[in-house]
Amino acid sequence: MNGRIKLIFSIIATITIILIIALVGILMDEDVLKADFKIKNIEPCLEYPFGTDWMGRDMLARTVKGLSISIVIGLVASIVSAVMAVIIGTLAGTMPKWVDSILGWLIDLVMGIPHLVLLILISFAVGRGIKGVMIGIAVTHWTSLARLVRSEVLQIRNEFYIKLSKKLGKSNIYILKNHILPHLLPQFIIGLVLLFPHAILHEAAVTFLGFGLPPEVPAIGIILSESMKYLSAGKWHLALFPGLSLVAIVLLFEHIGSNIKKVLDPYNAQN
């Protein structure tokens, strides 16, 4: 088995793990998340690997549910953000110079504002909640990919086959659909996957600070925010395991993005 196939199997295995976590969380019975004061403040054990909190809620169940929420939010926001990046980057690279200048100024403006600050402002402006966080993440995370897409489009425009297509009378729409967009597909896929960890971390951060999801939602940010109050009481596990789980999910997405980049790299494909 060569290295390329190993990478593909690794990507599939990692995606499968993430899908299982997401599906288990989505399909989880709400009764599992309810409070049961008879089992409150149980330390991690075989029956409750992550322990239970001050209300008797199973922390493993809450963590899995929170991770599934983060994955769904990250998926939707990353797709919207990546599509925005491709559209804006392509327009900047194909339209007249004055359009490129305006879009370049917009990219620089958004990149100049800290993501978290802008995300909080947008989330707060559109009413917070899941919708607000999704919109905030999508609107603040497209810039780097858009700049990459723009540079790729500008490079492609100078290729011989593009000039030949124009001489043969092919329309701009034909050139865009058949020559430019297929070339941008690898960048889109890699950019989409690499947006995931940023989206998930920023969703958790905004929620942790109180500007994201409402308190009744068992999001990772809510769990960590609530658990901070009990660290001084020795309830270290309430924050440790959900925090480590979030880091693990982020690393899994980083692993997928890194391996997809290697698979799509022509040099790696030849070796």
pLDDT band at residue 267 under the 50/70/90 scheme: low
Q: pLDDT exceeding 70 applies to what percent of the chain? A: 97
Across the chain, mean pLDDT equals 87
Q: What pLDDT was estimated at residue 266?
A: 57
Q: What pLDDT was estimated at residue 271?
A: 52
Q: For 47-113, where are the alpha helices, taking DSSP H only?
A: 59-94, 97-112
Q: Hey, what are 105's tokens?
A: 């100024």
More confident residue, 159 or 266: 159
pLDDT band at residue 268 under the 50/70/90 scheme: low
Cα–Cα distances (Å) from 123 to 21, 25, 66, 139, 161, in that order, read 26, 24, 19, 10, 45
Q: What pLDDT was estimated at residue 1?
A: 54
Backbone phi, psi, residue 52, to 5° = -125, 160
Sorted by sequence, the CB contacts under 8 Å of residue 262 that are 6+ apart come out as 7, 268
Give residue-wise pLDDT tens across range 62-114: 999 999 999 999 999 999 999 999 999 988 888 888 888 999 899 888 888 88
7 CA to centre of own chain: 21
Q: Hey, what are 234's tokens?
A: 């020795």
Q: What pLDDT was estimated at residue 16?
A: 95
Mean pLDDT of 209-224: 88
Q: What pLDDT was estimated at residue 15?
A: 93
**Whole-number Å distance between alpha carbons of 33 and 51:** 13
- In this predicted structure, the answer to whether residue 269 has a pLDDT above a threshold of 60 is no
Q: Which domains does the chain have, with CATH numbers?
A: 56-255 (1.10.3720.10)
Q: How many CB atoms lie within 10 A of CB 217?
A: 16
Q: Are 254 and 197 in contact (CB under 8 A)?
A: yes
**Whole-number Å distance between alpha carbons of 186 and 224:** 36
Q: What pLDDT was estimated at residue 19?
A: 94
Mean pLDDT of 196-203: 89
Q: What pLDDT was estimated at residue 80?
A: 94
Give residue-wise pLDDT tens across range 238-249: 999 999 999 999
Q: How many CB atoms lie within 10 A of CB 162?
A: 15
